[in-house]
């Protein structure tokens, strides 16, 4: 017997918020293991930096870490695993535990006098964090201060944060969450234990969605678009707008790659000019292009491999796949140039010049 309507309904509700709590089963297990080991060995550090792309699960992981530390269930067999149901666990999950505080662009906007969401965490927010760090824990042994959106901290705010990192208050653990840890000062980074959260496989993302009741065909599509970020996938399976935006990025990238060289350059020029206003969108299109080029490279290599199956093996390289691998290298270089503030137009143009030329390819 398959799942009843009610099962499916409750699965859909869970997907919408993914509020189960506890360690997320869709996050890079190596990262979770490191944090669990810190709890098991009772050597919880003063500062962690959880890094990884948006939607990879940094906030959910930080929350689970806080739950495991604050959980009051004394009977649990494994101290590194929160029970998920005691009052402390539930309060951490709801963002209502007195010893776990989150500082993010959203919380900053809620406390701001003027309405609207700033694009950076301000020095005032770091001052609030410093005073919060001076408080004694109320219910737990430790206070946990989570700084989400840490990549948006400008240098003066990072300098202010550095003071806390240099003289960490007793019993306080700072957890910075950053999409792009390269934007943090080396002095800040070096004082944190960095725990990278790596994207998981497409298959693992799809399984995560199916386990939560998402129909298989949708799960497969979302997984392909997820770039290995299951947190994004869970949100996108429940939010058409997110999914649509990513579909559009992929379609734009496909058109860009398939267009004649001249048009490829025009697109590079246009995206370069718009970069300062549409940064994440432009980066998204380049990431989608990398994924498409990779798919094409694999397809070409497989076809070539099949047709040569009976011939003696002369080389490990499939000649027809070389242009794609060159194009991927150029696109990865472009992403790192965009990150390093090379002029966006130049970075994008240099990339498309290394792409396969569709006029030649179709002949
Ligand atoms: Zn608990």
Distance from the alpha carbon of residue 254 to the mean position of ligand 1, in angstroms: 48
Backbone angles phi, psi at 121, to 5 degrees: -75, 130
Structural contact between residues 180 and 54, judged by C-beta atoms closer than 8 angstroms: no
Taking the C-alpha atoms of residue 64 and residue 195, their distance in angstroms, rounded to an integer, is 14
Q: pLDDT by residue (tens digit) across 276-300?
A: 999 889 999 999 999 999 988 888 8
Find all residues with CB under 8 Å of 210, minimum gap 6, and list them.
216, 219
Matching residue, tokens 């959260």? 197
In this predicted structure, what is the pLDDT of residue 316?
A: 56
∠ Cα 227 231 235 (to 5°)? 105
Cα→Cα distances 210→18, 29, 200, 205, Å:
13, 19, 15, 9
Distance from the alpha carbon of residue 100 to the mean position of ligand 1, in angstroms: 14
> Over the chain, what is the mean pLDDT?
89
Distance from the alpha carbon of residue 284 to the mean position of ligand 1, in angstroms: 38
From first to last of its 363 residues, the chain has per-residue pLDDT tens of: 444 444 443 333 333 334 557 999 999 999 999 999 999 999 999 999 999 999 999 999 999 999 999 999 989 989 999 999 999 999 999 999 999 999 999 999 988 887 777 889 999 999 999 999 999 999 999 999 999 999 999 999 999 999 999 998 999 999 999 998 988 999 999 999 999 999 999 999 999 999 999 999 999 999 999 999 999 999 999 999 999 999 999 999 999 999 999 999 999 999 999 999 998 899 999 999 999 999 888 888 887 777 666 555 555 556 788 889 999 999 999 999 998 888 999 999 999 999 987 655 544
Strand partners, 100: 144
Distance from the alpha carbon of residue 187 to the mean position of ligand 1, in angstroms: 35
In this predicted structure, what is the pLDDT of residue 5?
A: 43
Q: pLDDT by residue (tens digit) across 10-45?
A: 333 333 334 557 999 999 999 999 999 999 999 999
In this predicted structure, what is the pLDDT of residue 15?
A: 37
In this predicted structure, what is the pLDDT of residue 4?
A: 44
In this predicted structure, what is the pLDDT of residue 80?
A: 95
Q: Given 3-state DSSP classes, what are the helix, strand and coil percentages for the chain, each rounded to the nearest 5?
A: 60, 5, 35
Structural contact between residues 189 and 181, judged by C-beta atoms closer than 8 angstroms: yes
Q: To the nearest whole percent, how much of the chain has pLDDT over 70?
A: 90
Distance from the alpha carbon of residue 280 to the mean position of ligand 1, in angstroms: 37
Distance from the alpha carbon of residue 67 to the mean position of ligand 1, in angstroms: 7
In this predicted structure, what is the pLDDT of residue 116?
A: 77
Q: Where are the alpha helices (DSSP H) in 230-278?
A: 230-238, 240-258, 261-274
Taking the whole predicted model, whether its pTM rises above 0.85 is answered as: no
In this predicted structure, what is the pLDDT of residue 9?
A: 38
Distance from the alpha carbon of residue 87 to the mean position of ligand 1, in angstroms: 7
Structural contact between residues 173 and 144, judged by C-beta atoms closer than 8 angstroms: yes
Distance from the alpha carbon of residue 197 to the mean position of ligand 1, in angstroms: 24
Nearest to 290 by CA among 242, 232, 231, 338: 338
Which residues hold their Cβ within 5 A of ligand 1, which is an ion? Answer: 71, 73, 82-83, 86, 89
């Amino acid at each position: 017997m398959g799942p009843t309507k009610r099962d499916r309904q409750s699965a859909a509700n869970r997907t919408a918020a993914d509020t189960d709590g506890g360690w997320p089963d869709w996050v890079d297990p190596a990262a979770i293991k490191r944090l669990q080991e810190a709890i098991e060995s009772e050597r919880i550090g003063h500062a962690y930096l959880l890094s990884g792309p948006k939607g990879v699960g940094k906030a959910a992981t930080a929350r689970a870490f806080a739950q495991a530390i604050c959980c009051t269930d004394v009977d649990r067999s494994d101290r590194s695993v929160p029970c998920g149901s005691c009052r402390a666990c539930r309060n951490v999950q709801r963002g209502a535990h007195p010893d776990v505080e989150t500082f993010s662009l959203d919380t900053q906007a809620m406390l701001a006098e003027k309405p609207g969401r700033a694009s950076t965490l301000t020095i005032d927010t770091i001052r609030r964090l410093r005073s919060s760090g001076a408080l004694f824990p109320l219910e737990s042994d430790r206070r946990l201060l989570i700084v989400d959106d840490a990549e948006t901290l400008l240098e003066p705010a990072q300098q202010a944060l550095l003071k806390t990192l240099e003289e960490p208050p007793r019993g306080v653990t700072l957890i910075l969450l950053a999409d792009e840890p390269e934007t943090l000062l080396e002095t800040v980074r070096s004082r944190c234990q960095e725990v990278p959260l790596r994207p998981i496989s497409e298959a693992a993302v799809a399984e995560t969605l199916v386990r939560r009741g998402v129909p298989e065909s949708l799960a497969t599509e979302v997984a392909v678009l997820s770039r290995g970020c299951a947190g994004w996938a869970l949100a996108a399976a429940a939010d058409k707008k997110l999914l649509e935006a990513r579909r559009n990025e992929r379609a734009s990238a496909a058109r860009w790659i398939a267009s004649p060289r001249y048009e490829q350059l025009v697109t590079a020029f246009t995206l370069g000019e718009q970069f300062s206003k549409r940064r994440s969108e432009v980066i998204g299109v380049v990431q989608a292009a990398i994924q498409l080029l990779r798919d094409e490279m694999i397809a070409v290599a497989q076809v070539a491999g099949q047709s040569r199956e009976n011939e003696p093996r002369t080389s490990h390289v499939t000649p027809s796949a070389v242009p794609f691998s060159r194009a991927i290298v150029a696109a990865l270089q472009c992403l790192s140039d965009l990150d390093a503030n090379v002029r966006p137009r130049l970075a994008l143009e240099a990339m498309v010049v290394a792409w396969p030329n569709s006029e030649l390819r179709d002949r």
